[in-house]
A and B are shown apart, each in its own frame.
Chain A
Amino acid sequence: MDPRRTARTVSDPKVRQVGFFTPPPPPDRSVSDPPTHHDLIQFSSPSSPPVNEHSPSGNSLSPVMIPPPRHHSDTLALRTALQATSPTASLSYSARTITIPQENEDVASSFSPGRKVMSGKSPSSFPGFKSSSVPASELTTVSVVNLPPGITEKAGGASVEVQHDRPANSKPLKEKTSKAERRALQEAQRAAKAAAKAEGSKAPAAASKVGTSTNTKPTKAAKNPSVKNDGSQVAASEKKGGDRAPEKDRKKDAPHPRMQYDDPSRVEKAKKRAVVKQTEARNRVELFRHLPQYEHGTQLPDLETKFFELDPMHPAVYKVGLQYLSGDICGGNARCIAMLQAFREAIKDYSTPPEKALIRDLTARISSYVSFLNECRPLSISMGNAIKFIKNRITKLPLSLSESEAKATLMLEIVRFINEKIILADKVIVKHAVTKIRDGDVLLTYGASSAVEMILLHAHELGKQFRVVVVDSRPKLEGQLLLRRLVRKGLSCTYTHVNAISCIMNEVTRVFLGASSVLSNGTVYSRVGTACVAMVAHAFRVPVLVCCEAYKFHERVQLDSICSNELGNPDAISKVHGREEINYLDGVNSENLQLLNLIYDATPSDYVSLVITDYGMVPPTSVPVIVREYRREHLWS
């Protein structure tokens, strides 16, 4: 084995240069490279001084956070919640943040709480403090506190109390830290406690000074997801405060702590900030406790009355949120386009408040919209990618642009994103997919995918002779919608439920499926039931073609559909509308009954023959290549 290895490694580099691309640097390879390098340089240079030990190239691939957890992007609710809380809360905070100088506060307050730039505080001021014990206490709060509003509630009078609660709050995090780190953390907390006691007397005086900015302070703590885990390293990373962008990226690199809904204390906190007061379903299935589940249909009227109270929420965004909530807009592309258009409206009507920078304020604004939409319905991966794109474009705006120019640029970018990444991408997918349909084929599709619908219709327009089998499932019965459109256009269709899939599969020649997302290991994340269809097709040796736009690809790797999913209304599966005689579960309200209505599932890549995307037809193993080569170009340029 060994000689082989060495031989290959020796010959490989030499060989790779030959092929068709001999003398100059190979054109095809370099085509994609230089722009990205250029971009990366651009990316890091304006925002940061040359401190670049966290190299941006690695960071550019940072995972998109889907769904962005509430405590991250929630500005508005947070602010209101904080302002509502008792003044003692702010007092307790100021007691601990007393020594942070004024200039620092300005920076902090101009930052939106929703973003993660926060640790990049003014570099000049910070190092001076780290020797004193007071910043240490600050740091420990940074490292431990997860959800500030909860803390402010509990903090009540003295910060000592807060520190007592901490272990309970941060248990899940603590498990990840090593023993040494825990020790360091404890030391720091002890020191902090002492410091807080010592300075308790000075606090009120300082409180008045910092009072205005206190509300931004705690959010800062929430914004350091990666830093949280290692209390001992906080000081180090904070010390280097100057480099904002790398710092920010580093945080994105770390796996994002998704909101775990089985952690009661966090749910409690999240609820307090929420605009949409969703009521929790009572009886949840054990394995899926970490996912949010709400009673459906109860909160809509409540939200409608709130319309005039929530003044910073743009009406277009509000409308889209309500449509998500009621289920009027569903489907990955439709939801994404609706969201982007609402954001476009919002940007159009946006004006920068006095003494604020557009780049920061607008990002915060968008973040607050996003958290609102997330409360209405958990974001899809495609939406997460689109949000990432917008935020990226906002931060990339040159400072020299005037407000109107900046707004125009952004609106143009959004329209371009919709056109290029969604509409044109679909056209390209259709063009590729049609080549795979031959005369005499029997095509099977599951649910209602917009891309698949376009493919079928286009193939029909081209005069191909084929039949369609539409497979559907309860409770959504989306397939009927697709069926209706297909039949209207004159396609010959068969309609069946997923229960009959094994009977119908032996006459099928191709299976076309849509996807909510394709993950880095080739796993297809799609409407629940897709995996079942793909597996049956695989068993019958029928090729499975997945149609998915490249903007829905995601770097994440997921092995099952448990850890990340969405729960639908449990009533939907227990009740059948209009059939009172078979609603056997009507009166049953037992503690023993747990209903599970999953929205998505994950199809392993083994069952997928081919992914059709706007970059052509690729095997599922090549999804990471596309993510690597093109994510950078589109999101980071």
Chain B
Amino acid sequence: MWWRSPSFILDRQQQQEQNDSVPPESLFLTSAAPSMADSLQNPKSNISAYYQTRAAHHGVVTSDWLAQAQAAVGRHSDDDDSSESDGRAVPTVGGDGVSGKAFSVIEEFNNWRKQPDLAEAVAAIRALAAVIRASQATTMMELEIELKKASDSLKSWDTTSISLTAGCDLFMRYVTRTSALEYEDFNSAKSRLIERAEKFGEISCKARRIIAMLSQDFIFDGCTILVHGFSRVVLEVLKTAAQNKKLFRVFCTEGRPDRTGLRLSNELAKLDVPVKLLIDSAVAYTMDEVDMVFVGADGVVESGGIINMMGTYQIALVAHGMNKPVYVAAESYKFARLYPLDQKDMAPALRPIDFGVPIPSKVEVETSARDYTPPQYLTLLFTDLGVLTPSVVSDELIQLYL
């Protein structure tokens, strides 16, 4: 941006030299990584773990995946999967708790987040709950310090995941500022915290249902909805609308490079909702037919804007230009105390992009996985706190965190 003026060309060259020597990540990791993270540094630190997980869960990996999914129509494979993995994972927690020393939050967290139905924040909270369980602390203070360490290492393990950070922060607030600590007995306080943590998972699912319920008033018969990418909340919204016998059709963007839109269109086809697939660049072309845009969010930031999968911003811009409402569905644990001023003002979340053909090494590839949509392009946010205008997000955040 700043090299628009010729007077800065010289500076720019210097800048580039410096940039070459300093990896960009170091700027954003202001706090020194705690000891736990040292041993367990994210192996592929220049690739966003969060978006990798998303791709694994919701992306279309192979071309024969569709055929598989086609075969599986009518049978909800996800539910089986998750319950199965739930059954598998729970004993592991116990085992870890017993073995004590070998326990690691990050492994725990990775275990949890393998489940496609479990939100990242909930996985983080469950991992932290496991920390409490495994902890050999004898005082509340000790436990708090231990938790702090664990949450810091989790946060620094994947700085690109906003809901992970937000989930850790929320849980830490619970531990540090809750009436649960007023028990004289340490053990009962501890068990109370664990209990609280367990509840979070249910709340997360509940939040989705609430959002779906709230958004029903906005979906009217005969409307056309444009969705972008794959969002569990948006799917829940559309599913509920279909169950309520609303008549609507959905335009799904393709969602390159993970092609998560294909996955969503498939899910919707299972529900007998008319779906049309668009390539990402056809958004403006189809916008005049669209009545509303529905997107999920990876994070809702303090300005009321959202951080979401790449492409959301341009869809919002087009929708704003054509006076179509843009609705965001996001659970309140995605509210983060961040305030990006522009697109580059975030920790970069990179992800490999497969163009199908080899790219010459001289060609640069934009690999960012997400963008920031400023609040003025959003109409309403559906959250489990209610239907909010973007400016209320900051009010809620102030009340949550201060």
Contacts and interface: CB of A to CB of B under 8 A. Distances in A.
A508 B2 CA distance: 6
Contacts of B200: 20
A509 B3 CA distance: 10
Contacts of B216: 7
Contacts of B303: 609-610, 619
A29 interface: yes
B255 interface: no
Contacts of A32: 399, 402
Contacts of B27: 438-439
A616 interface: yes
A626 interface: yes
A626 B385 contact: no
Contact of B394 (A27, A441, A506, A621): A621
B341 A619 contact: no
Interface string B169-196: 0100110011100000000000000000
Interface residues of B, number: 55
| Residue from B2, B177, B203 whose CB has the most chain A CB atoms within 10 Å | B2
B339 A617 contact: yes
B199 interface: yes
A543 interface: yes
A31 B333 contact: no
Contacts of B4: 506-507
B203 A29 contact: no
A436 B345 contact: yes
A7 B217 CA distance: 8
| Residue from B4, B8, B170, B303 whose CB has the most chain A CB atoms within 10 Å | B303
B402 A440 contact: no
A622 B203 contact: no
B15 A507 contact: no
Interface stretch (A8-16, A80-88, A169-177, A213-221): A8-16
Interface string A233-267: 00000000000000000000000000000000000
Nearest to A504: B5
A467 interface: yes
Interface in B352-402: 375, 384-387, 391, 394-395, 398-402
Given A618-B302, A619-B302, A4 B217 contact: yes
B201 to A, nearest CB: 11
Nearest to B22: A439
Interface string A449-476: 0000000000000000101000000000
B19 interface: yes
Nearest to A545: B341
Contacts of A28: 173, 177, 399-401
B395 A20 contact: no
Given A507-B4, A609-B341, A625-B395, A467 B11 contact: yes
Given A15-B210, A621-B391, A610 B2 contact: no
Contacts of A16: 385-386
Interface string A423-442: 00000000000011011111
| Interface of chain A, main secondary structure | mixed
Given A18-B210, A439-B15, A622 B400 contact: no
B8 A439 contact: no
A34 to B, nearest CB: 11
Interface in B284-336: 302-304, 332-333
Contacts of A508: 2
Given A22-B199, A440-B11, A442-B8, A619 B391 contact: yes
B88 interface: no
A615 interface: yes
Contacts of B385: 15-16, 19
A22 to B, nearest CB: 6
A436 B341 contact: yes
Nearest to A14: B210
A587 interface: no
A507 B8 contact: yes
Given A28-B173, A439-B27, A509-B1, A622 B386 contact: no
B39 interface: no
Contacts of A626: 398
Interface in B1-35: 1-2, 4-5, 7-8, 11-12, 14-15, 18-19, 27, 30
Given A20-B332, A619-B302, A625 B394 contact: yes
Given A4-B217, A619-B304, A619-B394, A29 B399 contact: yes
| Residue from A4, A436, A545, A617 whose CB has the most chain B CB atoms within 10 Å | A617
B210 A440 contact: no
Contact of B341 (A15, A18, A610, A625): A610
B386 A12 contact: yes
Nearest to B344: A438
Interface in A590-637: 609-610, 615-619, 621-622, 625-626, 629
Contacts of B8: 442, 507
B214 interface: yes
Contacts of A24: 179
Contacts of B7: 507
A391 interface: no
A335 interface: no
A504 to B, nearest CB: 9
A31 B179 CA distance: 10
B399 A629 contact: yes
Given A28-B173, A465-B18, A19 B332 contact: yes
B301 to A, nearest CB: 10
Contacts of B206: 18
A251 B384 CA distance: 41
B106 interface: no
B1 to A, nearest CB: 5
| Residue from B302, B341, B342 whose CB has the most chain A CB atoms within 10 Å | B341
A510 interface: yes
A268 to B, nearest CB: 47
A440 B2 contact: yes
Contact of A8 (B12, B214, B394, B399): B214
A435 B337 CA distance: 13
A3 interface: yes
Contacts of A509: 1-2
Contacts of B339: 436, 610, 617-619
Nearest to A464: B27
A29 B397 CA distance: 11
Contact of A616 (B384, B391, B402): B402
Contact of B177 (A23, A31, A435): A31
| Residue from A11, A507, A618, A619 whose CB has the most chain B CB atoms within 10 Å | A619
A329 B209 CA distance: 59
B207 interface: yes
Contacts of B1: 509
A97 to B, nearest CB: 51
Contacts of B278: none
22 contacts: A20-B170, A20-B333, A22-B199, A23-B199, A27-B174, A27-B179, A28-B399, A438-B344, A440-B15, A441-B2, A465-B15, A465-B18, A506-B4, A510-B341, A610-B341, A616-B302, A617-B302, A621-B394, A622-B395, A625-B395, A625-B398, A629-B402
Give the 6 A-B CB pairs with smallest separation, nearest first.
A507-B5, A621-B391, A622-B394, A543-B341, A617-B339, A4-B217
Interface of A: 3-4, 7-8, 11-12, 15-16, 18-20, 22-24, 27-29, 31-32, 435-436, 438-442, 465, 467, 506-510, 543, 545, 609-610, 615-619, 621-622, 625-626, 629
